[in-house]
Structure 1
Amino acid sequence: MAILNDQKPSSNGNNEIIGSSDEFVAPEINSFGQSFRDYNAESERQKGVEEFYRLNHINQTYDFVTKMREEYKKLNRVEMSIWECCELLNEVVDESDPDLDEPQIQHLLQTAEAIRKDYPNEDWLHLTALIHDLGKVLLLPKFGGLPQWAVVGDTHPLGCAFDDSIVHHKYFKDNPDSKNPAYNSKHGIYAEGCGLENVMISWGHDDYMYLVAKENATTLPEAGLFIIRYHSFYPLHKAGAYKHLMNTADEENLKWLHVFNKYDLYSKSKVQVDVETVKPYYLSLIEKYFPAKLRW
């Protein structure tokens, strides 16, 4: 990853983002030597990614997500610290990701360290980067051992039409919701500007980690929670779909998600972060923004 010069983007007291032309420079190729988020490249990994999205698009229904939220908001499975959860991610590989097959903790630290260099004064953003994917522990038996299609991958709304920008959109034809007239219009069951917090988003690690952080009384700012909850919502923050459902607060928080997304996506590389070297810094942030033990 490349970081240029000493001029750093930051924010002012009004939470307005101050950018710089000398920020993190995104590489042109991912850790496999291919273009980022290329879901059509011919490779064995791509075939697996497409099968993942086929299952995801068929099985993620409004009723399924309702049940998952009800079940997991109990937070009655495990009690552990944030860092203990980070270490558990060494056991997880995301089958939906065409850009990465490294242990997840490396991705978290690569993202956090890249942001830390460009935004040295936004420590909440460093921590948000570290924890944004912790919900992937849902793949592990003690957290329910959910299938990959119910944990990772891009997210999208339920209860309204599936936008064409959603990757491998063709598989929605076999989703039961696609046959429900109430869900098949642009707005579906929602009102214009209702706010994303009132929209049912496909279930996965984003929504789960948001639940964990919120219910354990984190002091992260709302922008941090927004990033955690919607960082996989690529139809919105990359394609501009579903903006008609956003409210004013969403629009402000989306500015920070756009900042974050560049690092989340393009810091995926074979350059490893020395975990023990950076661990004390991130432990200090965890102590600042979270209780010692969390319910998961």
Structure 2
Amino acid sequence: MRVLQTVSILDPSELVRPEVGFASKDEHEYRDYTVTAGDAHMERVLQTYTEMHDSQTVDSVRSRLERWTKFNAFRAEVLETLDKLDNLVDESDPDLDLPNSVHAYQTAEQLRKDYPDLDWLHLTGLIHDLGKVMAFYDEPQWAVVGDTFVVGCEWADSIVYRKDTFKNNPDGSNPKYNTKFGMYSENCGLDNVTLSWGHDEYLYRFLKHNKSTLPEEALYMIRYHSFYPWHRGGDYMHLCNEKDKKMLKWVQLFNRYDLYTKSDQMPDVAKIKPYYQSLVDKYMPGVLECDIFWVNDL
């Protein structure tokens, strides 16, 4: 029998803070996508986005939804899966060239420091990138990492490398998809919009499938934290409903921690791991015993 959890939520008026005191460098130095000759790191970032923007179409996203929402890819515990991300470096990230597991604990620990009473928020910070495990199961990084965008309508101006990519994407010449609204209607709501495929949507659907007790604010953070054209670029508001507009503040709050905690400082994982295991046990009880999801060993 599932026991309902009591979840603490902040007053939305408390969400906006004037500065990011924990950033390890100037805020304007983050998300610099400038590519200079001989910079192998940034050339890799550009290549990842070029492949993404050429390949993420309405049809390709639908095929991945069909594949991944069967929930039959692998078997693992949450923190074991997080450990697996020790072996994954996000090829789309211009700010960090460290394993993703490090970033997960950095994000979670800063949220824990600033919001000690919101344990669900700490867990959200820890697991938000867990869907990147798809990269270990024959999914190319351009379909796992990076900023997401809406497929099925015209591409927003604020998308990374918008002017230089998308040239080979067939949806751009399809009149069903290349207008402002494309296959959508005004204020239809983001829940009725299809985003490019990546770790956000996969993890969101996994949590919903397994009836996690994380609050809706957490699920929005997980589902849309890579949707930069919306929560930072201000695009796609014509597709949002009132619920999306209300939840935007939560996604923007989370983005500050997701982005500005990136640094070379390594957390003491062994020391803090038991705390996060207790949160997994609290908000995701029984999730990892679901026979539909856990089929094959890692």
TM over 0.5, shorter chain = yes
Q: Is 2:179 the partner of 1:185? A: yes
Against the structure 1 CA distance between its residues 81 and 291, is the aligned structure 2 distance closer, same or farther, given a 3 Å change threshold? farther
Report sequence identity in percent: 48
2:42 and 2:19 map into 1 onto residues whose CA distance is 33
Q: Say if 2:41 and 2:94, in contact at 8 Å, map to a contact too.
A: yes
Where in structure 2 are the equivalents of 1:237-276 lying within 5 Å? 237-276=231-270
- Superposed displacement of residue 247, structure 1: 1.1
Q: Which deviates more, 249-258 or 20-29?
A: 20-29
Once the two structures are TM-superposed, the CA of residue 243 in structure 1 deviates from its matched residue by 1.0
Matching residue's letter, 1:27 = S
- Amino acid of the residue matched to residue 11 of structure 1? L
Q: Work out which of the residue numbers 114, 118, 123 in structure 2 matches 1:127.
A: 123
Counterpart of 1:167 (choices 157, 160, 172) is 160
Query: Against the structure 1 CA distance between its residues 215 and 16, is the aligned structure 2 distance closer, same or farther, given a 3 Å change threshold?
Result: farther
Q: Which residue of 2 aligns with 1:220?
A: 214
- Out of 141, 145, 148, the residue aligned to residue 155 of structure 1 is 148
Provide the secondary structure at the position in 2 that maps to 1:153.
coil
TM superposition outliers: structure 1 runs of 4+ over 2 Å: 15-30
CA displacement at 1:20 relative to structure 2:
4.8
Amino acid at match of 2:156: D
Matched, 1:204 2:198: yes
Gaps in structure 2 of 5+ consecutive residues: 1-8
Equivalent residue for 2:92, pick from 96, 101, 106: 96
Q: TM-score, normalised by structure 1?
A: 0.90
User: Could you tell me which residue of structure 1 aligns to residue 10 of structure 2?
Assistant: 11
**What is the root-mean-square deviation in Å for CA atoms of aligned residues?**
1.8
Which digits, 9 at most, give the CA deviation of each residue in 1:15-50, with x for residues without a partner?
Answer: 6545555764433359xxx92111114222111111
Structure 2 CA distance for partners of 1:22 and 1:189, relative to 1, 3 Å = closer
Report if the CA contact (8 A) 1:227-1:256 is conserved. Answer: yes
Deviations 1:264-289 (A, max 9, x none): 00100011100011111111110110
| Structure 2 residue identity aligned to 1:147 | P
The residue that corresponds to 2:139 in the other structure is 146
Aligned length: 279
- Are 1:234 and 2:228 an aligned pair? yes
More relative contact order in 1 or in 2 (CA 8 Å, sep 6+)? 2
Moved more, 84-93 or 20-29: 20-29
Letter in 1 for 2:213: T
Is residue 152–residue 183 contact of structure 2 (8 Å, CA) maintained in 1? yes
The residue type paired with residue 57 of structure 2 is: T
**Matched AA of 1:235:** P
- SS in structure 1 opposite 2:155? coil
* SS of alignment partner, residue 138 of structure 1: helix
Amino acid at match of 1:63: D
Report the Cα offset of residue 110 of structure 1. 0.3
**Do 1:24 and 1:114's aligned partners in 2 also have CA atoms closer than 8 Å?**
no
The counterpart of 1:84, out of the listed 73, 80, 84, is: 80
Is this contact kept in 2: 1:216–1:291, CA < 8 A?
no
Contact 2:220–2:251 (Cα < 8 Å) also in 1: yes
- Specify the alignment match of 1:118 in structure 2: 114
Q: Please give the alpha-carbon distance, in whole angstroms, between the structure 1 residues aligned to 2:196 and 2:49.
A: 12
Matched, 1:51 2:47: yes
State the match for 2:101 in structure 1.
105
SS in 1 for 2:238: helix
